[in-house]
Structures are given as C-alpha cells and as structure tokens.
A and B are shown apart, each in its own frame.
Chain A
Amino acid sequence: MRKAGWFVTGASWGVFAFLYLPLLCVAIFSLNASRSGLTWGGFTLDWYRRLLHNDLVLRAAANSLILALASTAISTVLGTLLALGIQRIPWGKRASKGMEALLNLPVVTPDIIFAVALVIAFGALRALTGLFQLGMPTMVVGHVAFQISFVALVVRSRLEAIGMDLEEASFDLYASYGRMLTSVVLPLLGPGIFAGAALAFTLSLDDFVISFFTSGPDSITLPIFIYAAVHRGVTPEIHALSTLVMLGTIAAVSIMQKLTARSGAEAGA
C-alpha cells in the first residue's frame, strides 16, 4: 500500500472534525453550569446528578434495555434457525429465491415503511383479537421482525465459511442429527451467533422510527424521550443524557473492535 498525500490526509481530518464536532459540542455543554444554553457559566456535574433522580429518564433507559434484550433473545434464536434451514437444506430454486427476497427486505426498504406496515398490522390484529395494544410487547414484535434478517445474514455467512466437512464426518461416526447440531455445528457457529446477536442488540438500541410508531404511553425509550424533549425545548439535562448514551456507544464499539481484532488474529494464527 502506498502513502497518503496531503490532500487525502487533510480532507480526512476535515471529515472526522465534521463528524465529531457536534458530539463534542454536546459533551461540553453538558458540563456547563449556566441554564440558558449557550454562554459558559462554569463547570458543573449537576445535570448528571439530576438525571439520576429523574424517574422518567430512568424508566426510559430501563425500557430501552428491556426492549433490546428481549428482542435480541428472540431474534437470535429465530435468525439462527432460519440461517441453518436456508443454508443446509436443499430447497428448490423458487423456495430459496423467495427466502432470499424475504431476508433482503429490510435492507432495501426504508424503515418508516416498516413502521407504518407494523402500525397497520397491529391495528388489524387489534380489531380481530382485542390484543396488540401499542406498548412494550408490540415494540418487541416489531424489533424482532427487522432483526431476524440481519441475524440470519450474519450467521449464514459464518455457516458458509465453516463448510460441510465436519458435519459429514460426524455422521460417518454415527452421530444423530441432534448430536451433530449440539456438539459440532453450534460450537463452531458460536462467534457467528454472537456477532449476529450483537448486531441485533445495537440495531434495537439505535432504532428510533419503529419504536416511535409502535410505542404506547408507558413504553418510551431513550431516543423517544430525547426526541420529545427537543420538541418541548432543550434543557442541559438532555445534553448530559446524550453524552452518557454517546459514552456507552464509544465503550461498546471499542469492546467489539477489540473482540473482533482478537478473533481475527486467532483465525489468522
């Protein structure tokens, strides 16, 4: 690989500044003592302290986590099964094509269309059964619906990489199908399943649009809370809350990078 010229280097620093300046701005203002925004009134951690006593914020944070954990658990199981089924069974041409299209649906459709489709689906189901009032359960259903494809895509690429040899070897050694799955495929598939689950988890935490359309009054998540707060008028507490979410993101991304770098090095060795 060659060396980067001055133009490439300069432009890249510019782009990074463009990406990080706003985030830095939020972090700085979250430490600002003056209430009315944009003049510097000295350093304080007061806004963070207040957050800890704000029940609404705490509940929104809990909701975000519950939603992400529940939807990730369900979608990881269903997505992994789907990947196994698609990758390892000799389906006919038309059936595989149909499943392929279903897997790619979330990639080629704007999320607002899914949100709207879910609203209509829940409305119809509510009229038919009386269940499906908008709230945490409907949000979980919605999140799982778009996570499944992403989990399945990640797990399937890992399945492709593993290949069939060890599975066939285990059959030669008279392993039953269940035994082959639990002691050959699942251990090998572990990192792929973990990567799929991590992706599903981040997608859920990152989502605003689908939660916004399918939430009820008691199931507000952090992004919905921040969005509503911006419309009401911003307070320094929101700066503090956003900064905490950003710090969480930075920690999560750094850990994931470390993990993938390590597993990559192991695979290479």
Chain B
Amino acid sequence: MSPRTLRLRGLLFVVPGIAWVGAFLAVPCLALAVVAFAQRGGFGEIEWKFSFENLKRLAGWDLFGWSPDNLWILARSFWVALVSTVFCVLLSYPLAFFLATRPSKTRTVWMTMLLIPFWTNLVIRTYAWILVLSPNLPVARLLAFLGFIPPGFPAYPSQIAVWIGMVAAFLPFVALPLYTSVEKIDWALVEASQDLYADRWRSFWTAIFPQTLPGISVGVTLTLVPAMGMFVIPDMLGGARFMLVGNLIEEQFGTARDWPFGAMVSLALMILTLGTLMAVGRNGKAKEARA
C-alpha cells in the first residue's frame, strides 16, 4: 500500500481526537494571547479594543500609580512551587529507598499505601488539613506555643498552612517516579565506588544520586506544573493575604468578571511555567552529562 493511502486512512484515526484537543484546548490557549490585549467592557464582556493596558496593570500600574502587588503574587507563586518541590524531593528520597527495599510480597501493599493519597481528591485532602489545623488540636497548640499564632486560634489561613498543604499534596507525585528510578539502580556501581575507597557520602553523590536523576526530573515536572497554577490549596488554607497566581486568575473569571486581565495573568503563568520547565530540563541534562 502506498504511503499516501496509508496516510489518508491515518487521518480518519487521528482527526477526531486532534480536532477535539485542538478546538477546546490548543486554539483557546493561543486565543488567551489575543484576549489578553483586549479590554473589559462595562458589563464584564470582552471589548475588542487592543492595548497594553492589561500588561501595564500586571506590572503594577493602575489609576492610583504603581504597586508591586501583582508582581509579588507571581514571584510568590514561583517561590512556593519551587520550595514545595524541593521539600517533596527531600521527603521522597528515603521513601523511595524504603519502598525499593521491601520484600516483593509486602511491596504491593506499600505501593497501594502511596497510591491512595495520590488518587484521593485534592479538595478532600486540603479540607482534611483544615480539620487538623483547627484550634486546640496539637498542631495549632504547637504553633501557638512557638509563637506563630495566638493561642486558641486555628493554624489557618496562614503561610505555613499553605506550605504544609502543598508538600502533602505533591509528595506522591515525586515519590512514585523516584521509586521507579531507585528500583533500577545498578548497585555494582556503588560497590565499585566502595572498592575505590569512597566514603558513604562520596559514594552516594557519585554512584547513587546520578542514577536517580531521571526519576527526580519526572517528579519535579509533575509537581512544578500543577504547583505553579495551584488554586485550591491557597484558597482554602492561605486566605486573602497569601494569594497565589491561581487565585488571581480565579478572581478575574469569578467575582471580578474581567476576562481580558484574567487572560493576561494566565498568559504570564503559562510563560513562567514553560520557562521554568525549560530551565529545569536544561539543568538536568547538564547534570546528567557531567555524571
């Protein structure tokens, strides 16, 4: 059969799926870049007058002069996503080795234990933390004792609550791919490093760590992307003073009904996410090349 007829047949297979994803995801994502430069009409509709107003507003200029609020929100979202990812990697490391050292019979049980929180709805998991952080329960008492919150108050909404919620939410996203890497580790390399008189620390960094990099890079991607746009956790645990970019977007499409500015903020988030992923990818490749 000629490649031409094969391709014609292939079109029948591919077109429905591609048309669906294209029409409802890809093209609208591109359309965000157009809407972002339009304006909000008097009734919350889109007015097709193009200008850089929304970009200026994102950078902080409005009728009353300049304020860094929006830029702060962007920077904070980036910082929160980055630091939660680092914490997830740190906590996943022992967990991955723990899972990989279980005998094969109990390993399925432990894996199931990790998959259950992974698949439990995020709204429920976040709401569960609201309960744990309620006033007069141990966590709130500890934080009150340490002076973070006044006694008798809940530990949310607060910055700490958002950090806890984020790390708890994304930990399985890192732990699962990391475990896959750890399971494949070639221990002969570790023995070789010991034969060459490497101490434990050296042997970890030169023989074990490089072999876990593929798992880490998958886990970091899986965590960074949703963490950057996170809206449920800061909404439920953070309150108005610890807003992230997800909340800003939701506000524009919800109560403020300012789609163009919302599109501009979304565009900024999209660029920030892709930029971070590219930086992480390049860094990861450089590290692998060195190792």
Whether chain B is bound by chain A comes out as: yes
Question: C-beta contact mask, A225-269 vs B, less than 8 Å → 1, else 0?
Answer: 011001000100011001001100110111001000100000000
Judging by beta carbons under 8 Å apart, are B17 and A82 in contact?
Answer: yes
Q: Whole-angstrom distance between the alpha carbons of A82 and B236 in the complex?
A: 38
Residue of A at shortest CB range from B90?
A: A11
Residue of B at shortest CB range from A11?
A: B94
Judging by beta carbons under 8 Å apart, are A223 and B259 in contact?
Answer: no
Residue total for A at the interface (Cβ-Cβ under 8 A): 86
Judging by beta carbons under 8 Å apart, are B131 and A261 in contact?
Answer: no
Among B27, B101, B253, contact of A119 (Cβ-Cβ < 8 Å): B253
CB-CB under 8 A from A81, the residues of chain B are: 13-14, 16-17
Among A3, A112, A205, contact of B229 (Cβ-Cβ < 8 Å): A112
Asked if A15 meets B94 with Cβ closer than 8 Å, knowing A141-B24, A242-B127, the reply is yes
Asked if A110 meets B94 with Cβ closer than 8 Å, knowing A22-B168, A242-B124, A261-B108, the reply is no
Asked if A120 meets B28 with Cβ closer than 8 Å, knowing A82-B14, A206-B119, the reply is yes
Question: C-beta contact mask, B1-34 vs A, less than 8 Å → 1, else 0?
Answer: 0010011011111101110111111111101100
Tell me if A130 counts as interface (CB < 8 A to partner B).
no
Judging by beta carbons under 8 Å apart, are A116 and B274 in contact?
Answer: no
Asked if A26 meets B127 with Cβ closer than 8 Å, knowing A8-B94, A38-B134, A121-B23, the reply is yes
Q: How far is the CB of B166 from chain A (nearest CB, A)?
A: 13
Tell me if B177 counts as interface (CB < 8 A to partner A).
no
CB-CB under 8 A from B171, the residues of chain A are: 15, 18-19
CB-CB under 8 A from B112, the residues of chain A are: 253-254, 257
Tell me if B117 counts as interface (CB < 8 A to partner A).
yes
Judging by beta carbons under 8 Å apart, are B136 and A38 in contact?
Answer: yes
Asked if A102 meets B18 with Cβ closer than 8 Å, knowing A249-B120, A253-B112, the reply is yes
Among B134, B221, B266, contact of A37 (Cβ-Cβ < 8 Å): B134
Q: How far is the CB of A124 from chain B (nearest CB, A)?
A: 8
Judging by beta carbons under 8 Å apart, are A226 and B129 in contact?
Answer: no
Asked if A206 meets B25 with Cβ closer than 8 Å, knowing A8-B97, A112-B229, A253-B116, the reply is no
Q: Kindly identify, within residues 186 to 244 of chain A, every residue whose CB is under 8 Å from any CB belonging to chain B.
A: 202, 205-206, 208-209, 213, 222-223, 226-227, 230, 234, 238-239, 242
Tell me if B269 counts as interface (CB < 8 A to partner A).
yes
Residue of B at shortest CB range from A243?
A: B124
CB-CB under 8 A from B131, the residues of chain A are: 22, 25-26, 29, 234, 239
Question: C-beta contact mask, A14-26 vs B, less than 8 Å → 1, else 0?
Answer: 0110111111011
Tell me if B219 counts as interface (CB < 8 A to partner A).
no
Question: C-beta contact mask, B159-180 vs A, less than 8 Å → 1, else 0?
Answer: 0000000001001100100000
Among A85, A91, A223, contact of B124 (Cβ-Cβ < 8 Å): A223
Q: Whole-angstrom distance between the alpha carbons of A113 and B11 in the complex?
A: 29
Among A3, A22, A116, A254, contact of B262 (Cβ-Cβ < 8 Å): A116
Tell me if A111 counts as interface (CB < 8 A to partner B).
yes
Of the listed residues A110, A113, A146, A177, the one surrounded by the most CB atoms of chain B closer than 10 A to its CB is: A110
Judging by beta carbons under 8 Å apart, are A19 and B100 in contact?
Answer: no
Judging by beta carbons under 8 Å apart, are B10 and A89 in contact?
Answer: yes
Judging by beta carbons under 8 Å apart, are B18 and A234 in contact?
Answer: no
Q: Kindly identify, within residues 173 to 219 of chain B, every residue whose CB is under 8 Å from any CB belonging to chain A.
A: 175, 187
Q: Whole-angstrom distance between the alpha carbons of A8 and B204 in the complex?
A: 14
Of the listed residues B131, B137, B270, the one surrounded by the most CB atoms of chain A closer than 10 A to its CB is: B131
Tell me if B144 counts as interface (CB < 8 A to partner A).
no
Tell me if A184 counts as interface (CB < 8 A to partner B).
no
Tell me if A9 counts as interface (CB < 8 A to partner B).
yes
Q: Kindly identify, within residues 102 to 125 of chain A, every residue whose CB is under 8 Å from any CB belonging to chain B.
A: 102, 105-114, 116-121, 123-124
Asked if A19 meets B168 with Cβ closer than 8 Å, knowing A109-B273, A112-B229, the reply is yes
Judging by beta carbons under 8 Å apart, are A91 and B7 in contact?
Answer: yes
Tell me if A72 counts as interface (CB < 8 A to partner B).
no
Asked if A117 meets B231 with Cβ closer than 8 Å, knowing A85-B13, A206-B121, A226-B127, the reply is no
Binding site for A on B (CB under 8 A): 3, 6-7, 9-14, 16-18, 20-29, 31-32, 35, 46, 91-92, 94-95, 97-101, 108, 111-117, 119-125, 127-132, 134-137, 168, 171-172, 175, 187, 221, 225-226, 228-232, 236, 246, 249-250, 253, 259, 262-263, 266, 269-270, 273-274, 277
- 20 interchain pairs (CB within 8 A)? A1-B187, A4-B101, A82-B16, A88-B10, A99-B18, A102-B22, A108-B273, A110-B228, A113-B269, A117-B28, A117-B266, A120-B32, A120-B35, A121-B24, A121-B31, A145-B21, A227-B236, A234-B130, A257-B108, A257-B112
